Amino acid sequence: MHVALGWEYRDRRVQQGPVVYCAFEGQKGIEARVEAFRQRHLDSKDIERVPFFLEPVTLDLVQDHAALIAAVRTSMGTETPVTVVLDTLNRSLRGSESSDEDMTAYIKAADAIREAFECAVIIVHHCGIEGTRPRGHTSLTGAADAQLSVKRDGQGTILVEVECAKDGPQGDLVASRLENVVVGTDEDGEDITSCIVVTADTPSTSSEGRLTPNQQTMYRILHEAGPPGLSLDDWYERARGEGIGTNRRATLGDIRAALHAKGLITQTVHGWAVKQPST
């Protein structure tokens, strides 16, 4: 939306122009998020002037990218997008993420969109179970001009980090949080809510102030257990179920010790729990 409106984003300039957002999953949710942004940031008279085109479609990008290009041209007339977002790769790929052949074909389809409009193509993709790299074949990372990770830390702050960039600086960090917005009412008269992204304080970039992906997972497991927490055996068993410490038990102990040292967890009579803020 900032690109479509030509607004600076977190003191960073943008190249203004039309944006095409292909929502291959969660279409209703995306529509609600757009409405939440419009209600919070735009006057009613400005709503129709935003060159943001939401395409709530389901397709196989490899087979259907030509039809998608034609549809964008038809809907936008003489305008062309400065970026096209594909959200997500998994829901627009009929083959396997781990297949060299299938991923190469997907990249070629994305390249065709980029070449048709001379625009940026943003691919939303999931991480693997460890959360340290994109899922599937490495050819995707090799073809990307930049890779940004989106993670939630132990305090609930959403962090976007530039992990790699071929023609720009790496390591830049943007911190955000979600804020609820009422976007309407349902047939029972109850509020329909969505969320907008707002600025949050950037956490410390020291090793003591940030959590590794494994630490984030271990913390999340304990957080989801609620105030009672978990016994050490239950906690470790759930962590192993998410692929952590399957080969070496001491790894789990190291992660637990690190979370304890950061003051995020505490030992209880029954095991371990997330440390509650003092009142």
Whether residue 157 sits in one domain with residue 136: no
The low-confidence residues of the chain, meaning pLDDT below 50, are 205-208, 249-250, 278-279
Q: What's residue 129's pLDDT?
A: 61
Whether residue 123 sits in one domain with residue 15: yes
Whether residue 102 sits in one domain with residue 20: yes
Number of domains comprising the chain: 3
What gap in Å lies between CA 69 and CA 196, rounded to an integer?
Answer: 29
Q: What's residue 250's pLDDT?
A: 47
Whether residue 117 sits in one domain with residue 23: yes
Q: Model's pTM, two decimal places?
A: 0.71
In a domain, 208, yes or no: no
In a domain, 58, yes or no: yes
Q: Beta strand pairing status for 158-165 and 173-185? A: antiparallel
Whether residue 130 sits in one domain with residue 9: yes
Domain that holds residue 198: 152-203
In a domain, 74, yes or no: yes
User: What would the two tokens of residue 68 be?
Assistant: 């998608």
Q: What's residue 138's pLDDT?
A: 85
SS (H, E, C) the chain: CHHHHCCCECCECCCCCCEEEEECCCHHHHHHHHHHHHHHHCCHHHHHHCCEEEECCCCCHHHHHHHHHHHHHHHHCCCCCCEEEEECCHHHCCCCCCCHHHHHHHHHHHHHHHHHHCCEEEEECCECCCCCCECCCCHHHHHCCEEEEEEECCCCCEEEEEEEECCCCCCCEEEEEEEEEEEEECCCCCEEEEEEEEECCCCCCCCCCCCCHHHHHHHHHHHHCCCCCECHHHHHHHHHHCCCCCCCHHHHHHHHHHHHHCCCEEECCCCEEECCCCC
Which positions ≥6 away from 270 have C-beta within 8 Å?
228, 229, 231
In a domain, 279, yes or no: no
CATH number at residue 106: 3.40.50.300
Whether residue 161 sits in one domain with residue 54: no
Whether residue 243 sits in one domain with residue 129: no
Give the rounded distance of the alpha carbon of 275 from its chain centre: 27
pLDDT tens string 203-245:
654 444 567 788 888 888 998 888 888 999 999 999 988 888 6
Whether 34 and 51 have beta carbons less than 8 Å apart is answered as no
Whether 109 and 65 have beta carbons less than 8 Å apart is answered as yes
Q: What is the CA radius of gyration of the chain?
A: 21
In a domain, 174, yes or no: yes
Q: What's residue 205's pLDDT?
A: 44
